[in-house]
Amino acid sequence: MTADVLPALTAEARGAAHSEGACAHDDTVLADRQDGTVVRHGDTVAKAHAPGTDPGELARRLAVAADPALGGILLAPLRPTPVDLHGRLVTFWPYGSPVDPGNPEAAPWEDAAALLARLHRSPAPDGLPPMRGPAKAARAIARLRAVGPHPAAAPVLRAWAVLPAWARAEAPMPATATLCHGDLHLGQLVRRPAATGPWLLIDVDDLGVGVPAWDLARPAAWYACGLLPPEEWTRFLTAYRIAGGPAVPAQGDPWPALDVAARALTVQTAALAIAKSAAADRPLDEVEQAVIDACDRMSGAPPELATDFAK
């Protein structure tokens, strides 16, 4: 992020916290990435969204998160509209404690699945933009191509090329009115109140209407790549089905519904792995190589035909 925005964002977080009656606290940068910077001051979090974020679309997504009908599913913002800060849109949120990455056994897979199922069953408001999952995958491929020639890129690009156009953000998604998160992973859950409250979904940047299978695709892809233990995948899928989630059939093989989205998330993950390793001038690690190897296997069978590209 530009050097002048981070101090200004921190000042905005302090101001928002004080307006909420909070006392002085230390400032903490929770994230500083290309797609957004997040600063915490006490119980208040300020997020500077990615450059070029559409203010109208972000406002509509914020309105969904603020809707009382979705209370208990999405973390509600502190303010209903974003503010402009040096050309970046900024939103304000209450702080919630995240999933502990050092304690994978306690990962709230059942809670994540139940929240997704409730979100997918909620009526989507009129005028909500499309879910941005495919667009994020396409941006990952653009980052990979910007790296230039790379020995690991070929299988990733082959796997991308055989995906249907909608999964590459080159055509509209299949007709659906399902409300989707758009970027589900365990980092998108927090407890509010912190430490003791229920789990809630955060980050509305990719929220919209679309294919609900996309929200299950990251854990499905990890499972298919051998990176998520089968028992954890089973916990997640079973909880989603028990909660009445519409993305997969209530019984039987879920993979025909998940295959395209899981492939797209695998390609996205592999593309970002290569781009990040190249930027850091380091070799690919074992997990990154496993995802690239999965792309190589995927490219040999068209989507929706193979049921397990991990083998």
Q: Among the three residues 95, 122, 152, which one is the final residue of a domain in this structure?
A: 95
- 307 within domain boundaries: no
Q: Among the three residues 71, 95, 119, which one is the final residue of a domain in this structure?
A: 95
In terms of residue numbers, what domain contains 67?
Answer: 5-95
94 has a pLDDT exceeding 90: yes
Q: Among the three residues 95, 123, 143, which one is the final residue of a domain in this structure?
A: 95
The per-residue pLDDT for range 37-49, each reduced to its tens digit, is: 999 999 999 999 9
307 has a pLDDT exceeding 60: no
What pLDDT score does 202 carry?
A: 97
What pLDDT score does 36 carry?
A: 85
Domains identified in the chain, total number: 2
Residue 175 and residue 279 in one domain: yes
Cis peptide before 193 (omega within 30 of 0): yes
SS3 content of the chain, % helix, strand, coil (to 5): 45, 15, 40
* Cα radius of gyration (the chain): 19
CA 186 vs. chain centroid, Å, equals 9
Residue 289 and residue 188 in one domain: yes
Q: How confident is the model at residue 301 (pLDDT cuts 50, 70, 90)?
A: confident
What pLDDT score does 20 carry?
A: 59
Q: At what angle do helices 255-279 and 153-161 cross, to 10 degrees?
A: 150
**Separation CA 153–CA 71 (nearest Å):** 42
CATH number at residue 23: 3.30.200.20
What pLDDT score does 303 carry?
A: 75
The per-residue pLDDT for range 231-282, each reduced to its tens digit, is: 999 999 999 999 999 999 999 999 999 999 999 999 999 999 999 999 999 9
157 has a pLDDT exceeding 70: yes
